[in-house]
Amino acid sequence: MTNGLTRRMNLKSELNDSELLRLMLAGDEEALALLYRRRQGGIYRFALQMSGSKPIAEDVTQEVFLFLMRDGHVFDPSKGSVSAFLMGVARNFVLRRLRTEQLLSPLGDDPDEDVSFNQPGSEMCPLEDLTRAETIESVRKAVLSLPAKYREVVVLCELQDVSYGETAEILGCAIGTVRSRLHRARALLLAKLRPATDVEETGSATVKSARCFA
């Protein structure tokens, strides 16, 4: 019984996302489970990196798949991949949620809400570990402080490693727009991160910043 189920799951795991979606819409629960396990990570991370809130990321992940069950038939393979479709749906849910909860500035005062991704127990020495953790934390905060339209291209292109073409599909804009937004987003991130690094290194952040972005 269990072997049969495992064999079926293995066979289905070779199917692509579109075929799994088709099976899922026909009522196949295994297809949904496979599709979920294949795509939930990216959606969850995208929502988390966009919102900085684990509850929101969980809700968005759930809502995306509920939407897929309800309105999965609207997916058009000629317009893009299932993953791009899901990410586009996730983006809409995240933006709606952020608007609703007025969390456009997600760096909340509540320390429980503020997500830290440090994973203790790495094999680096404590000083390197601390420096690395601080760097990651400062980058994370800088990304979260970006305006949404710049944040989403950074999250997709830099953190999720999505191609420019697929990012354009997800955002519903031209590839050129993605490139220009990413360029602008990186400049903003540098502007946000430079004072800290400059203070550490030279102690004159304002002078360095003015010289680079004059």
Partner 1 sequence: MNCERDEEMLSRGLKSLAAEMESLEAPADVEMKVLKAFRARQVVVPIARRQSSSRYWLVAVAAMLLIAISVVVLRWTNRAADDPRQAVKQEETQPKPVASDNAKDQLAADVEKPAIDSLPQHARPKRIRPASSRRPASAQVANHVTNEIATDFIPLSYMNAASLQDGGQIVRVTLPRAALANFGLPVNMNRYNEQVKADVLYGVDGRAQAIRFVQ
Which parts of this chain interact with partner 1 (CB under 8 A)? 24, 27, 29, 32-33, 36-37, 40-41, 43-45, 48-49, 57-58, 61-62, 65-66, 69-70, 117-119, 132, 135-136, 138-140, 143, 154, 158-161, 186, 189-190, 193-194, 197, 208, 211-212
CA distance 104 to 52: 10
CA distance 202 to 195: 10
Other CB atoms within 10 Å distance of the CB of residue 158:
16
Question: 141 vs 149, which CB is nearer to partner 1?
Answer: 141
Q: Residue 33 to residues 12, 24, 29, 65, 91: CA-CA distances in angstroms?
A: 10, 9, 6, 10, 22
* Cβ 191 to partner 1 shortest distance, Å: 10
Q: Which C-beta is closer to partner 1: that of 32 or that of 103? A: 32
Nearer to partner 1, 79 or 116 (CB): 116
* Min CB(133)–partner 1 separation in Å: 9
Q: CA torsion angle for 187, 181, 214, 137 (degrees, to 10)?
A: -20
State which residue, 45 or 149, has the beta carbon closest to partner 1.
Answer: 45
Greatest extent of the chain over all pairs of C-alpha atoms, in Å: 70
